[in-house]
Structure 1
Amino acid sequence: MSNLVFVLDTKKQPLDPIPPGQARRLLNDGKAAVFRRYPFTIILKYAVPKRKTQPHQLKIDPGSKTTGLAIIQGNKVVWGAQLQHRGQQIKNDIESRRAIRRNRRNRKTRYRKPKFLNRIRCKGWLAPSLESRIENILTWVNRLRRFVPISGISQELVKFDTQKMQNLEISGVEYQQGELAGYEVREYLLEKWNRKCAYCGVADTKLEVEHIQPRSKGGSDRISNLTLACHGCNQAKGNQDIRDFLNKKPELLKRILAQAKQPLKDAASVNSTRWALFNKLNESGLPVEIGTGGRTKYNRTRLELAKTHWLDAACVGDIEALQLVTNQPLLIAAKGWGSRQMCTTNKYGFPVKHKTRCKTFFGFQTGDMVRAILPTGKFAGIHVGRLTVRESGVFEMRTAKGKISPVRHKYCKSIHCNDGYMYSFSTNVQ
């Protein structure tokens, strides 16, 4: 089962989504044309005088790295998507640019006095890596409203308690000096350790909270001392020190200790953006319903649904039952619009190569989604992905399975112009 097809009338007014078979018949009969490939939308060639639509609820499960989106019609999940953010890439790009500028400034301003720090941040300022998450979600909220008659929005207003995550037994005055309250440590551990046993890597089984340094040997309940283990590994380790338990697996030991000390960056990013996103959604003019992470998990467990971002989004808020009309979500990865940098630099910050001012070559530009039929070579076959163009006409393509190169322009057929995102479909059908 794939997502339902979005439909616009000839005046570009959204109608109720229809099944793919019905959309195919309209296209074959010449009564409609393809309006957009991702998400797949058709436009009718005739007007609909009495346009009657059913209410649709857009549900959002915001995340640090991936946000789940789902459209609900009554109790039917008619469309789902997972939006992958690029906050870490933005952070790395800014840090790289800052380092180059600092080195260059120090070389050229040896006798200049330091610049006075007069930069003022406005109220509600967010780091660019966090701001991009909000803008990505708002972009898709506004985009979906143009294709579907959305009548309301549901947002999971999750709240992460970093105090409890650091110390389960914190209370009283010590806790009052903190900032947050009410976070489920088990759910955080599931996300942190990718829902797998840290020792054997088994998934899809019952996992237990495991102390890396046993409490009998001075270990604490801090989140940095907790991991997940299956019952067998938990019993095999017992109260051994992890270095004794994994003395024959030094690489696994190193990875677990490093992962255990990871900062609470994901929790902090969601805490920083949750209210900013809620206020932006309120400005859309649609009623906004909020739900908690505990309610989402309860709904998903009660309905026996798989743990995925788009199904988490479908379970946000107050629901009685859900019927999955689709089980193949659209995977959306934010890629940005490219860089305005007109030259590339070496590691010392000096220009080594100037870029051409032309963005389009042989009718294609970087970011276009194309379908390439390669007749020979290592990657012979049919591929769909996002292009990186060159003046020579020998391109590169990024697909869901990896990089394809070389791809000559004569084998490419455009299916979706660059809009800052890359699209694919899930290969693991739930």
Structure 2
Amino acid sequence: MVAVLDRNGCPLMPCHPARARRLMAGGRAVVVKTAPFVIRLKDRVAESSEVSGVAVRIDPGSKGTGIAVTADVECSDRVSGEVTTSRRGLHATELQHRGAQIHKSMRQRADHRRRRRGANLRFRAPRFLNRSRPKGWLAPSLQHRVDTTLSTVARLTRWFPVTELHVERAAFDTAALGLDLESLGLPLSAWSGGRTKYNRSMQGLAKSHTLDALAVGEAGPSTRVVRYPGTVLVTSACGRGSYARTRSDKHGFPRLYLPRQKQHHGFATGDLVRAHIPRGKYRGTHTGRVAVRASGTHRISIPGGYADTSHSNLRLLQRGDGYAYTMRKEDARP
């Protein structure tokens, strides 16, 4: 499903991609964001629209977190009067963390500092005695997991009419995750992992982060998942670069210097671009993140590797926001 905003930027109920294409072809909508795909209507406001609201369901993990946007519709049988709930999956995001990369970088930085203190260099005293950890401190690799999950949920609340949050309790509680009423202003419900597993087995769903997120919450025998997203937006945390203007070798010595300017020929590293390469080994059209060079020959990531091409062959789709976006198919069969 495609996220829809009104003319003032307020979220409306999402629509089918085919309807979004008709709206854009008729000039009634414009593209706001490419990944995920968000459109804005020119002739509609939220006050004159029927917005029932959606729920965001979160399945946290150590390496990846599944996030699903769902809408529950209650239906009653005319004969028996039994009330059932139909759950429709509107959007699914698999957030891939980079906690292992952060841990490796901090370990490498510590090794470089220890080596400089132990080598025949100027004296540099350790500074451990004058530092204290604040209350609620988490390791940087864990804090990264909290921050990326919270920022992704906050973005979804800007694009979808979210009315409630459901999260599965992880190794640390939801307060440590930063998910409460105070941070997002939405009612929050916490559920156990055992209930998620029970709901998934009752619905006959396969094991994945996004399908687990679809099953988070109250989903007993009277609830039936009638729709799940066929494609999942895989969001990989890549960072926004570093403050260091050098690259070091394995001993910690600088081996090259980076330019102060981050944007070259209209592009910056991390931008989502579409490349039309006219000739060569990688001839064709490719979409991915770009790594810029001052010479103008930029590098774009493609499935299975990368390709180098001139900046004149690139078209900007979306400015870099610290994440890489890809799509994968979802198979709900166990």
Greater strand share, structure number: 2
Residue among 194, 202, 213 paired with 1:302: 202
Letter aligned with residue 30 of structure 2: A
Partner deviation per Cα, 1:252-292 (whole Å, 9 max, x = no partner): xxxxxxxxxxxxxxxxxxx2465411655653221111111
Deviations 1:399-423 (A, max 9, x none): 3x23222222222111111000000
Q: Which residue of 2 aligns with 1:377?
A: 280
* Pair 1:419 & 2:302 matched: no
Deviation at 1:427, TM superposition (A): 4.4
Q: 1:29: Cα distance to partner? A: 0.7
Residue 283 (str. 1) matches residue 183 (str. 2): yes
Does the C-alpha gap of structure 1 residues 380 and 278 become closer, same or farther in structure 2, counting only changes over 3 Å? same
Give the alignment of 1:311-326 within 5 angstroms.
311-319=211-219, 320-326=223-229
Q: What letter corresponds to residue 382 of structure 1 in structure 2?
A: T
SS in 2 for 1:72: strand
- Counterpart contact for 1:138–1:281, Cα < 8 Å: no
- Could you tell me which residue of structure 2 aligns to residue 5 of structure 1? 2
Q: Could you say which residue in structure 2 is the equivalent of 1:118?
A: 130
Instruction: Give the alignment of 1:22-41 within 5 angstroms.
Output: 22-41=19-38
Aligned residue runs from structure 1 range 135-146, under 5 A: 135-146=147-158
Cα deviations by residue, 1:184-210 (Å, 9 ceiling, x for unpaired): xxxxxxxxxxxxxxxxxxxxxxxxxxx
How far apart in 1 are the matches of 2:261 and 2:60? 37
Q: Deviations over 1:348-394 (max 9, x none)?
A: 22222211111111111100111112222222222111111111122
Q: Deviations over 1:292-324 (max 9, x none)?
A: 111111111111112111110010011111121
Q: Distance in 1 between matches of 2:91 and 2:169?
A: 21
Unpaired segments of 5 or more residues in structure 1? 159-270
User: Aligned partners of 2:276 and 2:117: how far apart in 1?
Assistant: 49
Residue 246 of structure 1 corresponds to none
Structure 1 residue 347 corresponds to structure 2 residue 250: yes
Matches within 5 A, 1:187-336: 271-272=171-172, 275-277=175-177, 279-280=179-180, 283-319=183-219, 320-336=223-239
Distance in 1 of aligned mates of 2:229 and 2:329: 14
Q: 1:50 corresponds to which letter in structure 2?
A: S
Aligned alpha-carbon RMSD (Å): 1.9
What percentage of aligned pairs have identical amino acids? 40
1:80 matched to 2:98 = no
1:199-248 CA-partner distances (Å, limit 9, x unpaired): xxxxxxxxxxxxxxxxxxxxxxxxxxxxxxxxxxxxxxxxxxxxxxxxxx
What's the offset of the Cα at 1:38?
Answer: 1.1
* Secondary structure in structure 2 of the residue aligned to 1:283: helix
**TM superposition shift of 1:115:** 4.5
2:241 paired with 1:338: yes
Checking the alignment, whether the CA contact within 8 Å between 1:60 and 1:69 is kept in structure 2 is yes
| Secondary structure in structure 2 of the residue aligned to 1:92 | helix
C-alpha distance in 2 between matches for 1:111 and 1:58? 53
SS at match of 1:52: coil
1:107 is displaced (CA, Å) by 3.0
Q: Secondary structure at the match of 1:356?
A: coil
What TM-score comes out, normalization by structure 1 length? 0.69
Alignment partners' CA distance in 2, 1:31 and 1:427: 30
Unaligned runs of 5+ in 2: 73-86
1:65 & 1:409 partners in 2: Cα distance?
A: 34
Distance 1:113 1:78, change over 3 A: closer
Instruction: Select between 299-308 and 11-20 the one with higher mean Cα deviation.
Output: 299-308
Match of 2:119 in 1: 107
